């Protein structure tokens, strides 16, 4: 997975903001503008989370994408998805100025063994995120959001609970589990400096 600099993250979060602004105006994002702004052709997965106000209350988050896109397009699509998740009919400029944008870039998920002991030893809290798929149920945990989780077992239990499954269901061989690495960046204030979490 490519290591993104703060400068690149700032440019990508700027693209996410552009996508949010255009979406609120019911305008389509011009792909030529996106391609000019960030010329890399690296395919990645991106998750955008929108946080509101001084308490940084989450109001919208894009789901973990199934496909990889050029990073610039992945970010714009994730921002639009997060806005849709926020279920906000119309957003004013003032509201946009109160939102923090958090961007997580995700590596290719790697399937975990069906053996529970191997699963437990393969997942490292603080380093890995986990994706769970079981029938129509899906959930994921991003490393930067799991500060209180200290073990691989806790992380696996978390994604099970999030998918409304019993916490120890990760031990079942029929459940699909994947690990991934992630880089998470967030604005310190709306349209402000960007830091890595």
Q: What is the distance between the alpha carbons of residues 114 and 159, in angstroms, rounded to a whole number?
A: 16
Instruction: Label the pairing between strands 129-134 and 110-111.
Output: unpaired
**Which CATH number applies to 6-106+183-196?**
3.30.700.20
Q: Find, among 135, 127, 143, the residue nearest to 169 by Cα.
A: 135
Length of the chain: 197
Query: In the chain, where are the structural domains located?
Result: 6-106+183-196, 110-180
Give the SS3 label for residue 63. coil
Distances (CA, A) of 7 to 3, 46, 64: 12, 17, 24
pLDDT in tens, 87-137: 665 556 667 888 999 999 999 999 999 999 999 999 999 999 999 999 999
Domain 110-180 class, CATH top level: alpha beta
Q: Which residue has the tokens 């994730």?
A: 78
pLDDT at 194: 97
Structure tokens at 120: 């437990």
> Per-residue pLDDT for the chain (197 aa), expressed as one digit of tens each?
889 999 999 999 998 988 887 766 655 555 555 555 555 557 789 999 999 988 899 988 887 777 788 888 888 888 888 888 876 655 566 678 889 999 999 999 999 999 999 999 999 999 999 999 999 999 999 999 998 999 999 999 999 999 999 999 999 999 999 999 999 999 999 999 999 99
Contact between 102 and 184 under an 8 Å Cβ cutoff? The reply is yes
Q: Is 135 exposed, middle or buried (0-12, 13-18, 19+ CB in 10 A)?
A: exposed
State pTM to two decimals: 0.87
Q: Find, among 113, 120, 118, 85, the residue nearest to 99 by Cα.
A: 85
């Amino acid at each position: 997975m490519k290591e993104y600099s703060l400068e690149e993250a700032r440019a990508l979060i700027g693209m996410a903001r552009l996508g949010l602004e255009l979406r609120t105006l019911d305008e389509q994002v011009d792909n030529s503008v996106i391609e000019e702004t960030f010329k890399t052709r690296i395919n990645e997965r991106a998750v955008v989370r929108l946080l509101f106000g001084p308490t940084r209350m989450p109001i919208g988050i894009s789901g973990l994408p199934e496909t990889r896109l050029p990073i610039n397009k992945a970010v714009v699509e994730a921002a639009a998805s997060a806005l849709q998740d926020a279920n906000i009919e119309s957003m004013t400029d003032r509201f946009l100025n109160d939102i923090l944008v958090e961007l997580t870039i995700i590596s290719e998920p790697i399937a975990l063994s069906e053996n529970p002991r191997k699963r437990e030893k393969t997942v490292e809290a603080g380093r890995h995120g986990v994706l769970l798929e079981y029938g129509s149920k899906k959930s994921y945990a991003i490393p930067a959001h799991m500060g209180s989780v200290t073990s691989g077992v806790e992380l696996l239990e978390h994604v099970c609970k999030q998918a409304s499954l019993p916490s120890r269901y990760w031990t079942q061989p029929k459940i699909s589990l994947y690990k991934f690495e992630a880089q998470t960046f967030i604005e310190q204030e709306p349209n402000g400096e960007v830091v890595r979490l």
